[in-house]
Amino acid sequence: MKFPRNARIFRGQLDVAPFASVFFLLVIFMMVSSWVVYTPGVRLQLPVADDLPGTDKRTVEVAIDKNGRLYFESKSIEEGELSDKLRRKVAAASPEPLTLVVQADEAVSYKMLLRLRMVARDAGISDALLATLPRVLAPPGSPSKP
């Protein structure tokens, strides 16, 4: 028994509109899914301040969380290792001086900040700055808070 063949080979031009719509849907899907990706990191609550000076020198960043753990180059690090790495950074950057930028949580004690400053000084970094968040500006026309 022979079955009739109803399928024919298409020999006309393809319509581009369906392909374009699928492409744009894929682009939108990729953009939305990239915002949803969870990025792990250290949760820090930086203090808020206005008009603090910055620096135009090369910087080295160290973060301290509220439990006193140190983070350097996105990795948890001990104080002794931090000292060695800071010494290497200073040696690689010489003769240009480096500035230490401390990203410290609000709950970090003054004692811990002082210890970090002493480690940086022993490594050869003479300047240190505290990272802060800028104060949120009030919308125009609303009374400003002191």
According to the model, what pLDDT value does residue 123 have?
Answer: 92
> Does residue 9 lie in a domain region?
no
pLDDT at 69 over 80: yes
> Does residue 22 lie in a domain region?
no
What residues have CB less than 8 Å from 105, skipping those under 6 apart?
44, 45, 46, 64, 65, 66
pLDDT at 95 over 80: yes
- CA 15 distance to own-chain centroid: 45
pLDDT at 5 over 60: yes
pLDDT: which is higher, 94 or 59:
59
Provide the whole-model pTM: 0.64
Q: Mean pLDDT over residues 56-66, rounded?
A: 90
CATH code of the domain in which 78 resides:
3.30.420.270
Strands of 4-55, DSSP E: none
pLDDT: which is higher, 116 or 55:
116
Neighbours of 3 (CB within 10 A): 5
Which of 113, 91, 97, 86 is CA-nearest to residue 56? 97
Q: How far apart, in Å, are the Cα atoms of 53 and each of 44, 49, 59, 136?
A: 21, 11, 14, 18
Question: How far apart, in whole angstroms, are the C-alpha atoms of residue 123 and residue 114?
Answer: 14
Element (H, E) at 100: strand 98-104
According to the model, what pLDDT value does residue 46 have?
Answer: 84
> Does residue 103 lie in a domain region?
yes
pLDDT at 144 over 60: no
Question: How far apart, in whole angstroms, are the C-alpha atoms of residue 146 and residue 74?
Answer: 36
Question: How far apart, in whole angstroms, are the C-alpha atoms of residue 105 and residue 93?
Answer: 28
For the segment 109-139, what is each residue's pLDDT rounded down to a tens digit?
Answer: 999 999 999 999 999 998 999 888 887 765 5
Domain hosting 97: range is 58-130
pLDDT at 36 over 90: no
Total structural domains in the chain? 1
According to the model, what pLDDT value does residue 96 have?
Answer: 85
